Each structure stands twice: as C-alpha cells, then as structure tokens.
Amino acid sequence: MSNLILTLSFDFSLKIIKYCSVLEEEKRFVIAKQLLKSGTSIGANIREAQNAESKNDFIHKFKIAAKEAEESEYWLLLCKESGYVECTHLLVEIKSIIKIITKIIAASKRKSD
C-alpha cells in the first residue's frame, strides 16, 4: 500500500487487535469488543472509500471513518484514565489518523465545490 492513510489505518487496526487481546486477558470484555469494532472499522471505511461511486460517496465514507476514529479515541481515553492497560502509543496514533482524515475530508469538499 502506497497510500499513507490506508497504511496508517491498517497498521492501527493490527495494533488494536493486539491491544484488545490484552484487554480480554484482563477481563475487560465490553471495552475490548467496542474498541475492536471501532478501531478496525476506520481502515475498513477508508479502504471502501477508495472505490467510492462518487465524490460525495467518498466524503461520506471518510466521515464514517472519522466517527469511528473519534469513538476509538474515546475508548482508548477510558482505558488510559481507568489504568487498564498502557495505551499512550495508540492515543498518539489515533490523533494523527484523525488529523489526516479531517484534512482529506476538507480537501475533498473543496474539490467538489
């Protein structure tokens, strides 16, 4: 993959899978399930956007990815503040991903005007 956001979101998904396994070992099943869903959905939506039917469809898929990224950040912040398992590295990554997604959406909207 030579597309930066595709690569970052895929790598983040892999890290989330590993992190959620650790949460499950700690018997944090509900948070693990929620984070696994939202954290892997980011990349899935970004990948789906690559074959969007229109510019509006592309933007829509990226907006879904943005929502999933925000939700993932929420679950990670809960993990951090409750002291479950160290996740600072994942919080740094999700913040970068959110910034890139936001810029892609803004640029795409400008192009469609």
Which CATH number does the domain housing residue 99 bear? 1.20.1440.60
Can you give the residue range of the structural domain that contains 34?
4-112
Concatenate the DSSP letters of all residues of 55-72 into one string: HHHHHHHHHHHHHHHHHH
Closest CA to 87 of 101, 74, 100: 74
Alpha helices in the chain (DSSP H): 4-25, 29-49, 55-82, 88-112
What does the pLDDT look like over 53-93, one tens digit per residue?
999 999 999 999 999 999 999 999 999 999 989 999 999 99
In terms of C-beta density within 10 A (0-12 exposed, 13-18 middle, 19 or more buried), how is residue 79 classed? buried
Can you give the pLDDT at residue 7?
Answer: 97
Can you give the pLDDT at residue 111?
Answer: 81
Q: For residues 15 and 49, what is the distance between their CA atoms, to the nearest angstrom?
A: 22
Which two tokens mark 113?
A: 């005007």
pTM, two decimals, is 0.94
CB–CB of 93/15 below 8 Å?
yes
**What's the domain count of the chain?**
1
